[in-house]
């Protein structure tokens, strides 16, 4: 597995697991929802963001990471979140929930407005340490995911692929999905060379992702 491009992220050792646990066990509070660039908080601390197409399970993953059932609002209506949602991660940083892309139950002008906001944010946020691009393990990388990855390439923002809902596919299907994901990621210079497999329901990969975030410079 180690000689493959984009290997799976290794399980953290005990020390890094505990560092990640402590980071997310502390205060995590909603700060604000941003609808325009001028509403962004000062970039005076490191931040990580989560991007993904609608219904990829982004809210569920953020809730699992933070150990809070309703921190990020999971909606039954895909594309409903039209704001960049900022959360304070202790005293040390921001956790940023980007609006879902690819589908929206909203008028076209509204969709276009928040797509512009997304592009401006990704291209102009100096404190952004890493973007985590969520990919539904049942479907692999789709064209709308390619668009956001290309935008991250152009913005020189390092991004890491996180497969969600890994518990929803059979073990025999994992290799097929991972082959497709690795092939697509290899075309993107900003892609970080590790993949994280997660399940919000089963808890798989949560400690690994916490440790990765805690270990960012």
Tens place of pLDDT per residue across the chain (217 aa): 445 689 999 999 999 999 999 999 988 999 999 888 899 999 999 999 999 988 899 999 999 999 987 787 655 444 445 789 999 998 889 999 998 876 556 677 877 787 788 888 988 888 999 999 999 999 999 998 998 899 899 999 999 999 999 999 999 999 999 999 999 999 999 999 999 999 999 999 999 999 999 999 8
What gap in Å lies between CA 120 and CA 108, rounded to an integer?
18
What token pair was written down for 5? 């491009």
pTM higher than 0.85: yes
């Amino acid at each position: 597995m180690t000689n493959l491009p984009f290997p799976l992220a290794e399980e953290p050792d005990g020390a890094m697991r505990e560092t990640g646990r402590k980071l997310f066990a502390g205060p995590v509070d909603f700060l604000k929802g941003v609808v325009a660039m001028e509403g962004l908080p000062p970039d005076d601390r490191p931040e990580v963001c989560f991007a993904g197409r609608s219904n990829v399970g982004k809210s569920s993953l953020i809730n699992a990471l933070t150990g809070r059932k309703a921190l990020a609002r999971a909606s039954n209506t895909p594309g409903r979140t039209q704001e960049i949602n900022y959360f304070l991660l202790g005293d040390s940083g921001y956790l940023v929930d980007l609006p879902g892309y690819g589908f929206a139950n909203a008028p076209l002008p509204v969709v276009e407005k928040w797509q512009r906001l997304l592009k401006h944010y990704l291209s102009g946020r100096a404190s952004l340490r890493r973007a985590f691009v969520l990919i539904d393990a049942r479907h692999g990388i789709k064209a709308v995911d390619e668009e956001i990855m290309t935008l991250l390439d152009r913005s020189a923002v390092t991004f890491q692929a996180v497969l969600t809902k890994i518990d929803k596919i059979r073990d025999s299907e994992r290799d097929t999905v991972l082959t497709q994901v690795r092939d697509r990621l290899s075309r993107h210079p900003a892609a970080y060379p590790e993949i994280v497999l997660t399940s919000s329901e089963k808890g798989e990969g949560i400690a690994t992702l916490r440790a990765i975030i805690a270990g960012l410079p």
